[in-house]
Structure 1
């Protein structure tokens, strides 16, 4: 759980850096983003990393379901009757729900972008690269999709608030002296990822 979570955190950074190209002026953004997407789809090393990504998502999900089920069985009736809210944040108690929202959105996200790009027939730009940029822009010009995306990213942000620190603690990188530092970094990371991913659909919806 911790290792796959940390790998997915690393992927979030790389994915965000690529997606920030969507904020460039329209013509430049189209050509550069499509070139970037073409490079990712044709690079053998990236393909290997993508397989690791898919496996990490599945393993992280399966592990989360297993641990959640195990915790509920071990806690029994008292699990829902205790007063853990006095000692923990609400999002730390709702990690399964938040993760489910994110996973459901990933399925939609893959269906709308990854599948058409990989197996569909989409138009190309003036450089001959598949025009993923236009596909993304058309989607983010729909208010309902922007709202759906925002809900998923907010769920991801709260998931990271607890998950980032927990992952480091689970792999043994824990010491009382560094606890506040790791928590601060975790909060900063969660806020940065949330803001970074949210600004893209709202920018496209309002400006393009």
Structure 2
């Protein structure tokens, strides 16, 4: 086994990979939110359908999709491995242990939050990504060009209360996941300094709340006002 494999299969190595992939996925969330905001344009979905077509056909974007998938895979896999290692290292909790006094709720439940997000991701991909990439959508003409009408598919999904509920609850789980994960990533990468850490904590908190609030607001707005 090479030094590279040994390093990144160790506990600290896996934490570094989780941190890097986590921050990369944060950048994806920003781009994805900007794209989703096209749903609110008062043009009958033209902007969103054009945006979706661009994301599905641009070669650079398609290549970045592969990087994104790898990011998700490494992030999830390392999370599972680290969780198992932590449990095996301490199979029986101490009787007098009071974790609530030494850690936040989100840090103690990252596995649960991650599971909720993973289940939502599978549902989300099945409803939108699969039809958009592999067909099955109706088409619409925009400026004499034919586009898949993903907008209609999204609006239909957001008109169903159960899907909106799942979406909003998942965004709450994601917010808690990010609140802990954002700060933890910088700490793992050694970017922990008494001068800058308070700013990183505040920025991470604001980022987590605002991004997830933005995602949650879209299906709620569609459900109540469309």
| TM-score bucket (shorter structure) | over 0.9
Partner of 1:53: 68
User: How do 1:30-49 and structure 2 match up within 5 A?
Assistant: 30-49=45-64
Sort the Cα spacing of 1:21 and 1:175 in 2 relative to 1 into closer, same or farther, 3 A.
Answer: same
* TM-score (norm: length of structure 2): 0.89
* TM-score (norm: length of structure 1): 0.96
CA separation in 1, counterparts of 2:23 and 2:96?
Answer: 32
Structure with the higher fraction of residues in helix conformation: 1
Sort the Cα spacing of 1:79 and 1:115 in 2 relative to 1 into closer, same or farther, 3 A.
Answer: farther
CA separation in 2, counterparts of 1:183 and 1:155?
Answer: 18
Sort the Cα spacing of 1:177 and 1:53 in 2 relative to 1 into closer, same or farther, 3 A.
Answer: same
Q: Which runs of 4+ in 1 moved over 6 A?
A: none
Does the alignment pair 1:10 with 2:13?
A: no
Query: Match of 1:78, SS?
Result: coil
User: How do 1:106-145 and structure 2 match up within 5 A?
Assistant: 106-127=121-142, 128-145=146-163
Structure 2 residues without counterparts, runs of 5 or longer: 1-17
RMSD over aligned Cα atoms: 1.2
Query: Match of 2:91, SS?
Result: helix
Q: CA deviation at 1:20?
A: 0.7
Answer yes or no: is the 8 Å Cα contact 1:156–1:194 preserved in 2: yes
CA separation in 2, counterparts of 1:81 and 1:141?
Answer: 49
Partner of 1:24: 41
Q: CA deviation at 1:80?
A: 8.0
Partner of 1:90: 105
Structure 1 residues without counterparts, runs of 5 or longer: none
- 1:80-118: CA deviation from partner (whole Å, max 9, x where unpaired): 862111021111100010011001110010000000111
